[in-house]
Structures are given as structure tokens and as C-alpha cells.
Amino acid sequence: MRQSCRMAAPSNIIALVVAAGRGTRARTASAGPKQYARLGDTTVLAKGLKTLLAHDKITSVFVVIHADDRALYDTALGELSAHPKLHAPVTGGATRQQSVLAGLEALKPIAPTHVLIHDAARPFVSAPVIDRVLAALETSSGAIAALPLADTLKRAGANDRIAATIARDGLWRAQTPQGFRFSGILAAHLAAAAAGRFDFTDDAAVAEAQGLAVQLVAGDTANIKLTTAEDMTMVERTASGQAVPDIRTGQGFDVHRFTSGDHVMLCGVRVPHTHGVEAHSDGDVGLHALTDALLGAIADGDIGQHFKNTDPRWRGAASDQFLADAVRRVTVLGGRIGNVDVTILSEAPKIAPHRDAMRQRMAEILGIPVARVGLKATTTEQMGFTGRREGLAALAVATVIF
């Protein structure tokens, strides 16, 4: 609880970063302990350190590492190791608690007023979280970043049957940094060690055991502790931009000239008309433009390349098979069609009476909901070849999501 007496504001503040863990739950063959893993253009350890080193109230930073990890540490820090506020690393102990004690012992000659203990596996610590912990230390011997529980808690009984629901009122999840008056937390750790207790899971628990007041302040949901291999995969994807879907767009355009006949095929629908169109296939400008849009999105040539107009197999062919082939090509590459949009340029025939049937037919061929199939039509104000009723044209765009 917050103490009523006002204490001296933190003045000489050292950040102690605990990086000695073996990270067995997140360990990968390539990365070793997770604190040394790559994170975008930096590493897990370096990212958190940069935030701490940049904070103007933190006078210096010490890192506690495992005795075997000096080479990993040097590689992970790169030129950051020359930062004037960063001290040479301290060798930790067998457990996190022992590593923190080793770090605190190393600070004794400096005798800071306060220490902020932070886990290297929380690279997303932010300056506002640090500020809140430091502000609370003005009136409390200890303060930690933490978040109130949002999820309902269940206690499991036999065979994972729920034995009880735990009231979550007043329950918080502890994060780091955890800040303390240096003399108080050092004494608390020494007392715990003297009593042979090495089962504390954070420094606040060590402090609480000695009766120190520790204040909860708001942490940050982004300030996650990288624990499992899944956590690492998630942040690596985020850091490399792979969390943003790979969305590609293609466009298509097609024209066919009117000739004698009594109907045209448009967007897979037979539309009665005073003319037909000249074409090797059924001459469906809507489906041809749409096929090219899909092929364009995956940069796989065009309809004429895949279905040559000299090939007798495609004489009078229904154009739905061209579109279905483009869908197949998208699917083979692992793509998924996001949406399509087709515009028909026509003085006649009128498109509106057939619009719903055309959208339905294209949705069927594409295998996507009709809500993702746009269809519009326009005249060209009696200008140009479509305006002179010499033929039909169509434009199409398509998005493909990987």
C-alpha cells in the first residue's frame, strides 16, 4: 500500500536487467536463449536496453548474464555495448533470484538510491511505464508495473474439471520493471538467501516477505514477457512485417467487336442482343478482363498466353473455364481472392437487368461470396467505339491475399 510519508525522489537510479536465463521454453537451435534472439533489425536484449539507456532519469544500466553467454551478449548488443551508460555485464547465479542478488551485490560500490529490476525477456518496455514506476517510488519503498486481470480464473480439479472459479477482484499480473530503494531490496534479497528461500518468482515477492511496501502501477499490455517459442514466432513475424497480410492487386481490360448474332456472353451470363461478338472463344469481355486481373495479381502472364486463340480447343469455348484456371493458379500459390470489381462499357445491351445474375455467376466461378464481387456498367456517352456500338469493353480489378 502507498505510504503516507513522502520520501526523497529517486535520484541515482540504476536499471538492473536480468538476462541470465537459459530460456529453455523458447530456445531455438539458431537463437539460443531468447534474450539473444533476433527481433527485426535488433535483438530482444538490445531492444529493451535501448529504452532503458535512453531514459533520462536512469543514470546507468547493468546487465546480469549467464557465465556461458558472454559471446552471445557481445553479438546481441553490437555497437550498443559502447553506450556510456552501460556497464560491463555481471555474471549471474543458478536461478533468477540468485542472479538478481549477484547484480545487486555488484551495485554496492555505487550505492544508488534506487534500482529498477527488469527482465531482458520484456523487450517492449516503454518510457511511460518506467515513468509510472519511478513516480510511485517517490512515496513507496517499492513499485512494480502490473496489469489488472481481465480473464476469469478457474481452478482445475481432477481431469481438468473446474473445481472453482476464483474471484479476480484485486488480482494483478506482475510485470517488470520493478523498482525499489536499493538498500531495502538488497537487504530483502540477502535475508531471503540467508533463510535459504530461493522460490520467489519476482523481486516484489522478495520485498513483500520482508514487509516492504510495494505499490502497483499500470504496466502495459505490450510489455509482454517472451516465454514460449510461439511468443518468439509471433514477435519475429511482427518485427519483420509478416503480420501485415501480403495483398496484391491486378487489373484486366478486354474488348470484343460486334458481329452478327443474337446474344452476347457477359460475366458468364447469356444476354440477348441484336448482335454477337467476334471471338475465338465465347467472347465474354467481363470474364476475360477478370481473368487477366487475377493473373495480373499473381504476375502470371495473361489469358492469351495460357489459352492461345489459335488453339482449336478454345474455339467457342465458355470463358468460365479461363477464369476457373486463373483461380486455380491463385490457389496453387497459396493465395486467396479478397474481392473483384468489374466495369462493363456498353451502350447496348443494358447491363442492369442482368447485374444480379452476373455477380452470382462470377461469385460461383471464383468461389467467393457475392458480396465480394462488384459489377458496374457505364455507357461512354456515345463516344468512341463502344459509344458507336461497335463492340463491348470491360475493365476489372482483383485483390489476392497471401
Residue 282 sits in the site that holds Mg ion (CB under 5 A): no
Residue 69 sits in the site that holds Mg ion (CB under 5 A): no
Question: CA nearest 42: which of 241, 220, 236?
Answer: 236
Q: What is the spatial distance between Cα 190 and Cα 230, in angstroms, rounded to a whole number?
A: 36
Which is closer to Mg ion, CB of 55 or CB of 288? 288
Which position's Cβ is nearest Mg ion?
288
Q: What is the spatial distance between Cα 339 and Cα 357, in angstroms, rounded to a whole number?
A: 17
* Candidate ranges 163-171, 286-294, 335-343, 354-362; the one touching Mg ion (CB under 5 A): 286-294
Q: What is the spatial distance between Cα 44 and Cα 76, in angstroms, rounded to a whole number?
A: 8
A 10 A CB-CB count for 278 gives 13
* Backbone CA torsion sign across 153, 156, 162, 164: negative
User: What residues pair up with 14 in beta bridges, in sequence order?
Assistant: 60, 115
Residue 267 sits in the site that holds Mg ion (CB under 5 A): no
Q: What is the spatial distance between Cα 281 and Cα 322, in angstroms, rounded to a whole number?
A: 10
The 321-340 contact track toward Mg ion, x by CB under 5 A, reads: --------------------
The distance of closest approach from Cβ of residue 121 to Mg ion in the complex, given in angstroms and rounded to an integer, is 58
Residue 342 sits in the site that holds Mg ion (CB under 5 A): no
Residue 288 sits in the site that holds Mg ion (CB under 5 A): yes
Question: CA nearest 287: which of 352, 340, 332?
Answer: 340
Task: Name the DSSP class of 89.
Answer: P
Residue 254 sits in the site that holds Mg ion (CB under 5 A): yes
The distance of closest approach from Cβ of residue 282 to Mg ion in the complex, given in angstroms and rounded to an integer, is 9
Which is closer to Mg ion, CB of 47 or CB of 256? 256
Residue bearing cell 512485417: 241
Which is closer to Mg ion, CB of 193 or CB of 318? 318
Residue 395 sits in the site that holds Mg ion (CB under 5 A): no
The distance of closest approach from Cβ of residue 295 to Mg ion in the complex, given in angstroms and rounded to an integer, is 13
Residue 248 sits in the site that holds Mg ion (CB under 5 A): no
Judged by the rule CB under 5 A, the positions of this chain that interact with Mg ion are 254, 288
